Structure 1
Amino acid sequence: MTTRYYIRLPNPDQARGNDPDLSFRSRGAEGFAEELQQALRDDTLFLRWQARQEEPDDVDPALSATDPAARVTGQQDDLHIDLIVDTRLSSALLRQRMALLAGSHWQLRDVTAA
């Protein structure tokens, strides 16, 4: 079942994780959407994160799950950016990817069936 997540980046300039090599690089809505979509569709971000762990082989393989059909759209609205995410991945995995990309500088506004 696909779930739709409504995410807000209240201050896009601050939407960066703790590790610059894993964080969002974009400045605009389309770029943020594209980066998040890629992070959900393939395991590139996960593999980069895993390599930085003290014991990479001990990382739960379930965290590497992907959704090749995930879709993310972004829209600039005044000073914030709204992202709409359609994915089959669990909310825990979405939160993990958002934490890597944006740190704590994002808000989950709503969740619905897609």
Structure 2
Amino acid sequence: MATRYYLSLPDAQRARGSEPALSFTAVSAEGFAEQLQDALRSDRLFERWRAMQPDPDEVDASLGATDPGATVDGQQDDLHIDLVLTSSIPGTVLKHRMRLLAGAGWELRDVTAA
């Protein structure tokens, strides 16, 4: 079952995770949407993060869930960016990926059935 998540990046320049190798690098709404979509459709971001952990084999494998059909649309309004994500990814996985990508520079505004 797909869920629609409404996310906001209040200040796009500050929407960066604490580890630059895992963080957003985008500067446009389309770029943020593309990078988030890739982080949900594939396990590349998760695997890079996992390899950085002290004991990668102990990492909860459920955090590596992917959704090849995930879609993300982005719109920019001045400095803030709104992202609308449609995916079957569990909320805990989405929150983990967003913390890697954006650190604390994001907000979950709403969640609805897709």
Give the TM-score normalised by structure 1.
0.99
Query: Structure 1 stretch 56-65 or stretch 17-26: which is displaced more?
Result: 56-65
- Whole-angstrom CA distance in 1 between matches of 2:68 and 2:17: 23
Is the partner of 1:76 in helix, strand or coil? strand
- Whole-angstrom CA distance in 1 between matches of 2:91 and 2:60: 16
Q: 1:8: which partner in 2? A: 8
Q: 2:17: which partner in 1? A: 17
Shift of 1:78: 2.2
- Unmatched 5+ residue regions in structure 2? none
Q: 2:71: which partner in 1? A: 71
Q: 1:93: which partner in 2? A: 93
Deviation digits for residues 55-80 of structure 1 (CA, Å, limit 9, x no counterpart) = 00111111111000000000001220
Number of aligned pairs?
A: 114
Deviation digits for residues 14-60 of structure 1 (CA, Å, limit 9, x no counterpart) = 00001000000000000000000000000000000000000001111
- Whole-angstrom CA distance in 1 between matches of 2:102 and 2:112: 22
Letter in structure 2 aligned against 1:3: T
Q: 1:105: which partner in 2? A: 105
- Unmatched 5+ residue regions in structure 1? none
- Whole-angstrom CA distance in 2 between matches of 1:81 and 1:61: 31
Is the partner of 2:110 in helix, strand or coil? strand
- Considering only aligned residues, what root-mean-square deviation do their CA atoms show, in Å? 0.5
Letter in structure 2 aligned against 1:98: M
Q: Which runs of 4+ in 1 moved over 3 A?
A: none
Is the partner of 1:22 in helix, strand or coil? coil
